[in-house]
Amino acid sequence: MKKYVFKENEKLDSLVDYLLSKPNLEAILLNGELGAGKTALTSEIAKKLGEKKQVISPTFNTILVYDKLVHIDAYKLKGDLFAFEDYFEDKLVVIEWAKNIKHNFKRYIEIEVYFDKHQNHVFEIKKEVM
């Protein structure tokens, strides 16, 4: 699968453009190390979608809903996303710590986010279901 490597503070445009080029993409499922860039990626996706509000980590809220994006932190979640599904309509859903939950998305991309030995941010696409 594809792997994107970025230095600290490097623009994530190539990855964001790739993700947003996928027609009818419902969700981006992010897993990986703390501080490796999950929220930074979500913020860049939101900007490309034209989101005017600043995207912040939903750690304390679990879910933050924007005009074109739903951002979920599943770190403390178990089970499925049924309680949140009303917010998904016509929005791209980005889930951090997605391995902690079950989902019903039909079109999604799963990405592992981590640091390499040079402390670069690595975004490795593990699965694409279209």
pLDDT tens sequence across 96-117: 999 999 999 999 999 999 999 9
pLDDT score of 58: 85
Residues 25-51: pLDDT tens digits? 999 999 999 999 999 999 999 999 999
Which pLDDT score is estimated for 1? 83
- Indicate the pLDDT class of residue 52, thresholds 50, 70 and 90: very high
CATH code: domain of residue 29:
3.40.50.300
| Predicted pLDDT of residue 56 | 86
pLDDT tens for 60-92 read 789 999 999 999 999 999 999 999 999 999 999
Query: In this predicted structure, what is the pLDDT of residue 60?
Result: 79
pLDDT confidence tier of residue 59, bands split at 50, 70 and 90: confident
Total of domains in the chain: 1
pLDDT at 72: 96
Q: Which domain holds residue 110?
A: 3-129
Instruction: Tell me the two tokens of residue 83.
Output: 């309680």
